[in-house]
């Protein structure tokens, strides 16, 4: 269920008091296709007003953004922030999103793994990121449920933007690498795709009987086939994506999200026709092994055709803090239009995560998740962050040391 922005404001403001701020004379990039000069008024943690020549109100702080650019905070649609252990955190959470006791674990919930004290989460606002989708890893056929969090705070219950976003699944080679060395499945792609097909069939047919214990795995997957939870499925090739689309085709209510987008060349009109979103989930580094399988010209062609595309980042290293922006800058070399590219890291991931009613664009009624830059970061390598606001509070300003709570 999508939360109405006004209801969100009431709930969001019920516990805290936020300063009122008027940002004047900036260049506003609203994240939904428009750029214009103007002012933004922040009150109660949300954007109260966007317009021109707004007058300061009593007890309102005024920030002059003349010559600066104001963008929505970046959103990473699929990430492991706060759950991925010592590779990305100073205070590790022991790879709590990587449950490898069995390859089929749809009943799990990434929300319970999230560590709000993770150094990465505390530092992301210094790189322009204000929210992220947190998912289980791609090591399981069905890994569990995705949640979305703001990246400022400590308590997951106060940081969470939405739970029950979608079911994370994978048909990649990672399953064979994880389980193939054990005397247990999966050891082949035959097992992966046949089991995907079989589990969806069983879930569709499942009816809980009063005299038998509930099958929590099938109950979780039934929510997928009935369209209650989108299926976010990681594919490592175009052929894998085609196999997934064939297997899921019989379930009319099932909502598919393709993660990775490897080998897509722009000819995949079915993604547009069936409104299947794509999350480009890879590192920005050109020599990264996964990035080599990505055809960014193909992704740009899909954007041109109207596909809902989000640029995400890699999951395994601290450099992923910059992947959203770097991937967007690479896309600028193909699209040459920041109004077309910016939604790929702001409003589009918000739509895919189902949080676009509360964040992802600079519109009145939404959370004040925004970043003031010295210039447009999509067109200048020298752009620097002046201030980051998350929920109306300044969480980073130029010169701050990166913090670890």
What are the tens digits of pLDDT across the range 195-238? 999 999 999 999 988 888 999 999 999 999 999 999 999 998 99
The alpha carbons of the chain give a radius of gyration, in whole angstroms, of 21
Alpha helices in 233-363 (DSSP H): 238-248, 269-273, 296-304, 323-335, 338-341, 347-353
85: left (phi over 0), alpha (psi -120 to 50) or beta: left
The pLDDT of residue 1: 42
**Nearest-CA neighbor of 280 among 352, 229, 228, 339?**
352
The answer to the question of residue 151 being in a domain is: yes
The answer to the question of residue 140 being in a domain is: yes
What CATH number did the domain enclosing 214 receive?
3.20.20.140
Kindly state the average pLDDT of the residues 178-187. 74
Could you identify the residue written with the tokens 């606002």? 125
Asked whether residue 2 carries a pLDDT value surpassing 70, the answer given is no
Distance CA 236, CA 263 (A): 8
The answer to the question of residue 28 being in a domain is: no
Q: DSSP labels for 216-245?
A: HHHHHHHHHHTTSS-EEEE-SSHHHHHHHH
Asked whether residue 123 carries a pLDDT value surpassing 80, the answer given is no
**Nearest-CA neighbor of 169 among 255, 84, 92, 44?**
255
**Nearest-CA neighbor of 132 among 12, 279, 326?**
279
Asked whether residue 87 carries a pLDDT value surpassing 50, the answer given is no
The answer to the question of residue 33 being in a domain is: no
**Structural domain for 166, as ranges:** 73-356
Phi, psi (degrees; rounded to nearest 5) at 230: -65, 150
Question: What's the structural domain count of the chain?
Answer: 1
The answer to the question of residue 113 being in a domain is: yes
CA dihedral sign, ordered 252, 78, 350, 299: negative
Phi, psi (degrees; rounded to nearest 5) at 48: -85, -30
Give the H or E element holding residue 203: helix 189-205
Kindly state the average pLDDT of the residues 244-269. 92
Asked whether residue 50 carries a pLDDT value surpassing 90, the answer given is yes
Burial class (CB in 10 A: 0-12, 13-18, 19+), 316: middle
- Between helix 238-248 and helix 189-205 the angle, nearest 10°, is 20
Share of the chain above pLDDT 90, in %: 60
Per the CB < 8 A criterion, the answer to whether 78 and 279 are in contact is yes
Asked whether residue 388 carries a pLDDT value surpassing 60, the answer given is yes
Kindly state the average pLDDT of the residues 136-147. 93
The answer to the question of residue 3 being in a domain is: no
The pLDDT of residue 292: 54
The answer to the question of residue 38 being in a domain is: no
Task: State the pTM of this model.
Answer: 0.90
Q: Is the peptide bond before 186 cis (omega within 30 degrees of 0)?
A: yes
Phi, psi (degrees; rounded to nearest 5) at 144: 130, -175
Asked whether residue 278 carries a pLDDT value surpassing 70, the answer given is yes
Asked whether residue 133 carries a pLDDT value surpassing 60, the answer given is yes
The pLDDT of residue 184: 67
The answer to the question of residue 211 being in a domain is: yes
Distance CA 18, CA 370 (A): 15
Distance CA 119, CA 9 (A): 28
Give the H or E element holding residue 200: helix 189-205
Phi, psi (degrees; rounded to nearest 5) at 303: -60, -45
Query: Of the ranges 198-212, 270-284, 353-367, which one carries the lowest mean pLDDT score?
Result: 270-284
Share of the chain above pLDDT 70, in %: 84
């Amino acid at each position: 269920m999508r939360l109405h922005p006004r209801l969100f404001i009431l709930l969001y403001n019920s516990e805290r008091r936020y300063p009122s701020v008027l940002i004047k004379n900036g260049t506003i990039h609203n994240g939904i296709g428009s750029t214009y000069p103007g002012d933004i008024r922040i009150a109660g943690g949300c954007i109260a007003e966007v317009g021109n020549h707004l007058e300061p109100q009593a007890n309102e702080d005024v920030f002059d953004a003349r010559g600066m650019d104001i963008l929505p905070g970046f959103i990473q649609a699929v990430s492991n922030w706060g759950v991925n252990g010592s590779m990305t955190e100073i205070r590790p959470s022991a790879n709590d999103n990587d449950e490898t006791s069995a390859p089929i674990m749809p009943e799990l919930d990434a929300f319970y793994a999230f560590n709000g004290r993770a150094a990465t989460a505390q530092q992301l606002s210094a790189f322009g990121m204000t929210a992220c989708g947190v998912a289980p890893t791609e090591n399981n056929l069905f890994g569990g449920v995705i949640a979305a969090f703001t990246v400022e705070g400590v308590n997951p219950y106060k940081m969470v933007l939405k739970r029950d976003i979608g079911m994370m699944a994978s048909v990649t080679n990672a399953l064979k690498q994880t389980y193939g060395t054990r005397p247990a499945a999966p050891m082949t792609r035959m097992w992966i795709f046949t089991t995907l097909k079989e589990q969806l069939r069983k879930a569709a047919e499942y009816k809980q009987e009063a005299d038998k214990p509930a099958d929590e795995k099938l109950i979780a997957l039934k929510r997928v086939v009935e369209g209650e939870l989108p299926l976010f499925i990681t594919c490592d090739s175009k052929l894998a994506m085609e196999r997934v689309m064939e297997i899921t085709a019989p379930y009319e209510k099932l909502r598919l999200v393709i993660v990775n987008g490897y080998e897509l060349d722009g000819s995949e009109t079915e993604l547009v026709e069936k409104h299947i979103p794509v999350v480009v989930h890879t590192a920005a580094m050109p020599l990264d092994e996964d990035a080599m399988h990505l055809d960014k010209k193909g992704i740009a062609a899909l954007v041109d055709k109207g596909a809902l595309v989000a640029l995400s980042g890699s999951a395994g290293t601290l450099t992923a803090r910059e992947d959203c922006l770097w991937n967007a800058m690479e896309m600028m070399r193909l699209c040459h239009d920041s109004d077309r590219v910016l939604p790929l890291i702001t409003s589009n991931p918000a739509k895919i995560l189902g949080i676009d009613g509360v964040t992802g664009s600079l519109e009145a009624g939404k959370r004040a998740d925004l970043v003031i830059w010295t210039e447009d970061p999509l067109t200048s390598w020298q752009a620097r962050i002046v201030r980051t606001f998350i929920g109306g509070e300044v969480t980073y300003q130029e010169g701050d040391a990166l913090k670890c709570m």
